[in-house]
Amino acid sequence: MQDVNWIALSIFVLLFGFITWLGFAAARWRKGDLDLLHEWGLGGRRFGTVVTWFLVGGDLYTAYTFIAVPALAFGAGAVAFFAVPYTIVIYPFLFVVFPRLWHVCHKKGYITAGDFVRGRFGNRWLALAITITGIVATMPYIALQLVGIQVVVGALGISGSGWAADLPLIIAFMVLAAFTYSSGLRAPASIAIVKDILIYITAFAAIIYIPIQLGGFGKIFAAVPAKKILLAMPGPHTTGAYGAYATLALGSALALFLYPHSMTGILSASSGKAIRRNAAMLPLYSFMLGLLALFGFFAIAAGVDKLPEFAGGFKQFGNNFAVPALLLHSFPAWFVGIAFAAIGIGALVPAAIMSIAAANLYTRNIHREFINKNPSDKQEAQMAKWVSLLVKLGALVFILFVPTKYAIQLQLLGGIWIIQTLPAVMFGVFTRWFNSWALLIGWAVGTVAGTSMAVAANLAPAYPLAVGGYSFPGYTAFYTLVLNLVIAIVLTPVFNIMSARRTPLDETVAADYLA
């Protein structure tokens, strides 16, 4: 490993200290009674268009994304760019579906997707399925954020043996846990503003400066092996890389807003209007993510993996070291400090929101539904605070004791699992036509089929679906969502005939979904 980079480390620590203070100070921002769950866990639904932009941007475009997408471009090439169509097609869903969900949640006091499904379909078991899926899919996602911190800490030259090696990560997480506990969603919202400004500075400086250093895009792409620049042309009788690319983008987009942390970010907005405006403004982050993906090619052109000073980093972190190495190679130490702080802080924002979202889910849809049916407001908020600590501790233990590749594989499975909640949540926003038991069976079949297909494909995202001599490699989550939907549609009339009660148990009315 290279020596400790003192200048970069000092700036990194300074910025970390600043956001720690900010996280605690945030408790007093747009002050509310933090003994109420919607104040602690949704920031009192008081965030306007601009704060929502920073919060949701910091929430969805995570530090891990900023490390992993360029790493994929570095290793595998063009396929990494699926992140761009993915983050283009998410916004129509945000625009059309989520203002309606926001309105009904606001009117009925719902805080989670589980709350909504419980109210809409009157089926606590369906709500439980949605809740458990949300929590299970979130855990490895939090763990992956820690990988982001590990990589930049390693790149700063900090290394140790045994317990000491993990000390920076443990400190970062204690800080995170403490300010999330005391300030709730206000902490990541305020920190997101600082983090996003740092990320934008880094991204735009690098996208201008590094290509100049390397002699322009023409030279950079000339250095990239030709087969990495474009998707492989599909052979006969298969949709090949094209189908995989498109279904990965679409499936990931459908899954994204079903994650509890996305839901929490969106529901904390102050109005449906703020959400719609953000559907037009958030693509700036997608643009930046596209630029960052190109960093993978810059790293190839700069040949950072062949430089002896980075050999240790690549050995330890694999391709995830490509971006940190590129930044170290191209920029003076003080700027590296800013860039690494952006990535490190960028991990804390989503990790905080994810732990809050998981805590909201447990508190509302498991504890209140099945254990203590009439908690006081204060008890409810207190429970959520403790659970948020527990969730983070779980993620920390996971990342310290389990190899990173399992977190990555679990996160991949998490995408397959979370997408199975789409029929109940997204279609539920528009219609109560579905029978809740049909939805539950669709969810179960989708989850089991998705998991087995992923295992059969050796935990690669694309499954080679074969139909009559043709092969359609595509994103497992997408295929199993179709299966789930077909089952829910076919079984709905069946269950309706079997059931004595024809009127659905819907506590919402059409007007609840409108402004």
Footprint of other proteins on this chain (CB under 8 A)?
A: 78, 81, 84-85, 87-89, 91-92, 95-96, 99-100, 103, 216-221, 229-231, 233, 241-242, 245-246, 249-250, 272-273, 276-277, 279-281, 283-284, 286-287, 290-291, 294, 513-515
Of 27 and 88, nearer to other proteins (C-beta) is: 88
Q: Are 18 and 197 in contact (CB under 8 A)?
A: no
Report how far Cα 312 is from the mean position of its chain's Cα atoms.
29
Which residue's CB is nearer to other proteins, number 132 or number 279?
279
Residue closer to other proteins by CB (options 50, 456) is 50
H helical segments located in 156-271: 167-183, 186-214, 217-223, 226-229, 240-256, 260-267
Supply the minimum distance, in Å, between the C-beta of residue 358 and other proteins: 28
Residue closer to other proteins (CB basis): 118 or 276 = 276
Q: Identify the helix (H) or strand (E) that includes residue 131.
A: helix 124-155
Q: How far is CA 287 from CA 61, 86, 199, 281, in A?
A: 11, 12, 13, 11
In the structure encoding, which two tokens stand for residue 461, read together? 């995202």
Q: How far is the CB of 263 from other proteins (least distance, A)?
A: 17
**In the bound complex, what is the minimum distance in angstroms from residue 66's beta carbon to other proteins?**
16
Asked whether 362 and 211 are in contact (CB, 8 A), the reply is: no
Our CA dihedral for 185, 189, 190, 191, rounded to 10 degrees, sits at: 100
The least CB distance from residue 245 to other proteins, in Å, is 5
Closer residue to other proteins (CB): 241 or 462: 241
**46/315 Cα distance (integer angstroms):** 46
- Return the structure tokens found at 203: 């991204």
Nearest to other proteins of 267, 357 (CB atom): 267
CB of 385 to other proteins, least distance (A): 33
CB neighbourhood size of 358 (10 A): 31
Neighbouring CB atoms inside 10 A of 236's CB total 6
Q: Measured from the CB of residue 78, what is the shortest distance to other proteins in angstroms? A: 6
Closest by Cα among 104, 38, 49, 64 to 359: 38
> Least distance from C-beta 292 to other proteins, angstroms?
11
CA 487-491-496 angle, 5° bins: 155
Q: What is the largest CA-CA distance in the chain?
A: 73
Helix (H) or strand (E) holding 463: strand 462-467
Which residues face 471 on adjacent strands? 238, 466
Rounded CA separation 445/492 (Å): 15
Q: Give the separation between CA 338 and CA 344, rounded to whole angstroms.
A: 10
**Euclidean distance between CA atoms 290 and 58, whole angstroms:** 16
Residue 308 one-letter amino acid: P
